Amino acid sequence: MNYEAQNARYVARVEEGLRALLPEAQAAWETGKIPEGLCQSMRYSLLAGGKRVRPVLMLATADMLHVDPQEALCPACAIEMIHTYSLIHDDLPGMDDDDLRRGKPTNHKVYGVGAAILAGDGLLNFAFECMLQNALRYPQHLQGHVRAIEAIAVRAGVTGMIAGQSIDLLYEHRQMDEAALSYVHQHKTADLLTAPLLAAACIAEADEHIMHALEAFGHSIGMAFQIQDDLLDIEGDAASLGKATGMDAERGKMTWPALYGVQRAHAMADALWTQAIASLEEFGDRAAYLRAFVQNLRARRA
């Protein structure tokens, strides 16, 4: 399997799917469609590029579990909408108050705070709207689709991603201990990486055993990704020695290397990547793409 080529195919399908679900705002608001300005602000952030990690994971897991790719495309795109709304709201004043995201001005810097709040609300609501309409297109698999949407809702919600954001905000000006840091990364990052895996498994009507394996896989890559992120921040920063001994100075947030030192953080990430590969064992050759995905993520330098 050529990983790069397969990844490019998945990404292209996601990009096409997103544009089909949220087309250009040609129809003015008078026609009863999405108001033009709202549509533009949603598209600005949704179509700003990125690696599309979450929807690609869903398409790959769907392939692995013999799910019709067409059935999986809409929930895959919806998870990307949920991820995007969370970034728009995270960037707002009162949250992280960021001016830039992926080198472009943040949504509220371009459209204003009010419009950015609505763009985020709109993407979250639209994600469910699209998934529900998709589910109704497959009456013979309706229960699997509803379980998939429910799995996504739980991981995105008040015991999942939003819970992680909430605890992150709570510790804005306080030192996190390991329990808090672990909770935030589990929920803010790992839960939305687990969601696409479980959603594909629900549509496939997979058994509990497969669900647990995928949940373990999602947890491992999510936590490893986050520790690696912290390490890359330090290693990419010449003036970084101070960071390894205390809180991330710039963001005022606790990091894994700050808590444990660089060496132990590296060892923790290594163990998690190994666990991730191990949790794919039962899928045999069909997990070739997901294994390559892990190796690729592990080797990243930025």
Binding residues for a second copy (CB under 8 A): 29-30, 32-35, 37-39, 42, 85-86, 89, 92-95, 108, 112-118, 120-122, 124-126, 128-129, 132-133, 135-136, 139, 142-143, 146-147, 149-150, 153-154, 156-159, 162-163, 165-167, 169-170, 172, 179, 183
Residue closest to 275 by CA, chosen among 291, 289, 255 = 291
For a second copy, the closer CB: 144 or 257: 144
Q: Least Å distance between CB 54 and a second copy?
A: 16
Nearest approach, Cβ of 13 to a second copy (angstroms)? 23
Shortest gap between Cβ of 11 and a second copy (angstroms)?
Answer: 25
Report the distance separating Cα 66 and Cα 204, nearest Å: 7
Residue carrying structure tokens 């979250």:
124
Q: Report the sign of the C-alpha dihedral through residues 160, 162, 165, 170, in that order.
A: negative
Tell me the one-letter amino acid at 115: A
- Closest CB to a second copy among residues 149, 231: 149
Q: Which is nearer to a second copy, 66 or 173 (CB)?
A: 173
238 contacts 203 by C-beta, under 8 angstroms: no
Residues 198, 179, 165: CA angle, nearest 5 degrees? 60
- Closer residue to a second copy, CB minimum distance, 41 or 255: 41
For 177, other C-beta atoms within 10 Å of its C-beta total 12
Q: Between 163 and 262, whose beta carbon lies closer to a second copy? A: 163
**Which C-beta is closer to a second copy: that of 46 or that of 224?**
46
End-to-end CA distance of the chain, in Å?
25
CB of 22 to a second copy, least distance (A): 9
Q: Nearest approach, Cβ of 220 to a second copy (angstroms)?
A: 18
What are the backbone dihedrals phi and psi of residue 204, each rounded to the nearest 5 degrees, phi first?
-75, -5
For the record, the structure tokens of 179 come out as 């329990």
Joined tokens for residue 114? 């009010």
Shortest Cβ 38–a second copy spacing (Å): 4
Q: Within 13 Å and on the Cβ side, how many CA atoms surround 67? A: 32
Q: Smallest gap, in angstroms, from Cβ of residue 128 to a second copy?
A: 5
144, 147, 149, 155: CA torsion to nearest 10: -140
Q: How far apart are CA 127 and CA 153, in angstroms?
A: 10
Smaller CB separation from a second copy, 64 or 200: 200
